[in-house]
Amino acid sequence: MNGQGVIRSGGLAAVAIAVAMLAACSSGAAGGYGAAAPAGSGTPATASGALRAASTSAGTVLVDPAGKTLYVFAADSKGHSACTGGCAQYWPPEVAGSLAGTRPSGVTATLGTLTRADGSVQLTVNGFPVYTYAADSAPGQAKGQGVNASGGLWWVLTPSGSWITASGSASASASTGVRRY
């Protein structure tokens, strides 16, 4: 194959990838949680992926539809995120999608939303904003557990929304930790 054939083949592959990405983005799935229910309908959305409990090195914790561990930031307060700018690069806010207000199987925490300063809508668990951690590169990882960064400590959550405030202990009890309200 000559050089032009390679360029054409590569160009077609790039176009195919771009079309697939655009189709995924326009599918109506907000944040990977499924199609959104109409605002104020009180009807939970049917999600193809859902918040769920999963086993990690920090214990049984909440994970997002992609299996990434969810964290709370001790510097946050109910309904307010203190993680902005560079902090949000390392600790991406979990997009609420249509999950807020639903009760996925095995999850007893209260799920809700908050609107961030940039206008995006973030998922909350028992009123606190939740995040993933950029260093968690695969499902089941909890590398951010107990990390002191961006002005506070980061903790994973149990399916009831309690914070596990012991670093690196699979048997850590959320009842021994401190919860801020």
Where are the chain's structural domains? 31-181
Q: What is the pLDDT of residues 10-28, one digit of tens each?
A: 443 333 333 333 333 322 3
Q: Which residue has the higher pLDDT, 148 or 36?
A: 148
CA nearest neighbour of 70 among 126, 142, 170, 150: 142
Beta strands 152-157 and 71-73 are: antiparallel
**Spatial CB neighbours of 13, under 8 Å, sequence gap ≥ 6:** none
Q: What is the pLDDT of residues 28-42, one digit of tens each?
A: 333 333 323 323 323
| Residue bearing tokens 């109409």 | 38
> Full-prediction pTM beyond 0.95?
no
**Spatial CB neighbours of 154, under 8 Å, sequence gap ≥ 6:** 71, 72, 73, 74, 91, 131, 133, 144, 145, 146, 147, 148
Are 104 and 33 in contact by the 8 Å Cβ rule? The answer is no
Q: What is the pLDDT of residues 86-143, one digit of tens each?
A: 999 999 999 987 565 567 888 999 999 999 999 999 999 999 999 999 999 999 999 9
Q: Which of 53-57, 113-117, 163-167, 171-175 has the lowest mean pLDDT?
A: 171-175
pLDDT value of residue 97? 76
